[in-house]
Amino acid sequence: MVISPAYQDALTWLHSFLDNARTHAKDLSLGNFDLLRMENLMTLLDAPHKAYASVHVAGTKGKGSVAAMCASILQEAGFRVGLYTSPHLEDFTERIQVDGEPIAQGKFAKLVDEIKPFVAKIPGITTFEIGTALAFWYFAKQEVDFAVLEVGLGGRVDATNIVTPMVSAITSISLDHVPVLGTTLEEIAAEKAGIIKDGISVVTAQQHPEVHKVVASTAFQRSAPIQIAGDDYRWQFVRHTLDEQVFWVWPKAEQAQMDDYIEGKRANKWTPLEFRIPLLGEHQLENATVAYTAMQALRAQGIVIREAAFRRGFANLRWAGRFEIVGKNPLIVLDAAHNADSIEKLARTLDTYTPDKPIHLLLGVSADKNLPKMLAQFPAQRIAHVHASRSTHPRAMSPNEIAEQAIHAGFSATPYPTIEDALPAALDALEDDAMLLVTGSVFIVGAAKNVLDKITNH
Q: Judge if 346 and 396 occupy the same domain.
A: yes
Angle between helix 35-44 and helix 127-141 axes, rounded to 10 deg: 40
From 315, 341, 366, the end of a domain falls on: 315
Please answer whether residues 96 and 108 qualify as being in contact, where contact means their C-beta atoms are separated by less than 8 angstroms.
yes
Please report the pLDDT score of residue 174 as a whole number: 86
Q: Is residue 419 part of a domain?
A: yes
Whole-number Å distance between alpha carbons of 345 and 354:
14
**Residue 183, pLDDT above cutoff 80:** no
Q: Is residue 439 part of a domain?
A: yes
Q: Is residue 250 part of a domain?
A: no
Please report the pLDDT score of residue 22 as a whole number: 53
Q: Where are the beta strands (DSSP E) in 77-129?
A: 81-84, 96-98, 101-102
Percentage of the chain surpassing pLDDT 90?
Answer: 85
**Residue 140, pLDDT above cutoff 90:** yes
**Residue 381, pLDDT above cutoff 90:** yes
Distances (CA, A) of 299 to 26, 36, 71, 340, 351: 43, 32, 15, 36, 37
Instruction: Classify residue 416 by burial, with Cβ atoms within 10 Å: 0-12, 13-18, 19+.
Output: buried
- Name the residue with higher pLDDT: 182 or 420: 420
Residue type, 380: A
Domain span including residue 56: 5-234+275-315
From 260, 294, 315, the end of a domain falls on: 315
∠ CA 303-82-237, rounded to 5°? 65
Q: Is residue 245 part of a domain?
A: no
Whole-number Å distance between alpha carbons of 437 and 346:
10
Please report the pLDDT score of residue 14 as a whole number: 97
Q: Judge if 416 and 281 occupy the same domain.
A: no
pLDDT band at 177 (very low <50, low <70, confident <90, very high): low
Whole-number Å distance between alpha carbons of 188 and 175:
7
Q: Is residue 360 part of a domain?
A: yes
Q: Judge if 367 and 391 occupy the same domain.
A: yes
Q: Is residue 167 part of a domain?
A: yes
Q: Judge if 27 and 168 occupy the same domain.
A: yes
| 8-28 confidence digits (pLDDT tens) | 999 999 999 976 555 545 545
Q: Judge if 373 and 284 occupy the same domain.
A: no
Q: Helices then strands (H, E): number in the chain?
A: 16, 17
Percentage of the chain surpassing pLDDT 70?
Answer: 95
| 49-82 confidence digits (pLDDT tens) | 999 999 999 999 899 999 999 999 999 999 999 9
Q: Judge if 280 and 348 occupy the same domain.
A: no
Lowest mean pLDDT among 68-77, 103-112, 170-179, 415-424: 170-179
Q: Judge if 30 and 105 occupy the same domain.
A: yes
Pairing of strands 226-229, 201-205: parallel
* Collapsed DSSP state (helix, strand, coil) of residue 149: strand
| 81-105 confidence digits (pLDDT tens) | 999 999 999 999 999 999 999 999 9
Whole-number Å distance between alpha carbons of 248 and 239:
10
Whole-number Å distance between alpha carbons of 80 and 97:
11
Paired with 362 in beta bridges are 387, 438
Q: Judge if 281 and 368 occupy the same domain.
A: no
Mean pLDDT (the chain) is 93
Please answer whether residues 93 and 206 qualify as being in contact, where contact means their C-beta atoms are separated by less than 8 angstroms.
no
Complete DSSP assignment for 170-207: E----S-SHHHH-SSHHHHHHHHGGG--TT-EEEEE--
Q: Is residue 305 part of a domain?
A: yes
Check which CATH number belongs to the domain holding 294 and give it. 3.40.1190.10
174 Cβ contact list (under 8 Å, min separation 6): 60, 61, 185, 188, 208, 339, 340, 341
pLDDT band at 46 (very low <50, low <70, confident <90, very high): very high
Q: How far apart are the first and last CA of the chain?
A: 14
**Residue 106, pLDDT above cutoff 90:** yes
Mean pLDDT in residue range 243-269: 90
Length of the chain in terms of residues written: 458
Please report the pLDDT score of residue 391 as a whole number: 87
Q: Judge if 366 and 435 occupy the same domain.
A: yes
**Residue 2, pLDDT above cutoff 80:** no
pLDDT band at 336 (very low <50, low <70, confident <90, very high): very high
Lowest mean pLDDT among 265-274, 329-338, 376-385: 265-274
324 Cβ contact list (under 8 Å, min separation 6): 333, 334, 335
| 289-333 confidence digits (pLDDT tens) | 999 999 999 999 999 999 999 999 999 999 999 999 999 999 999
Q: Judge if 216 and 358 occupy the same domain.
A: no
Q: Is residue 203 part of a domain?
A: yes
Q: Judge if 207 and 282 occupy the same domain.
A: yes
Check which CATH number belongs to the domain holding 368 and give it. 3.90.190.20
Number of domains making up the chain: 2
Please report the pLDDT score of residue 31 as a whole number: 62
From 266, 296, 315, the end of a domain falls on: 315
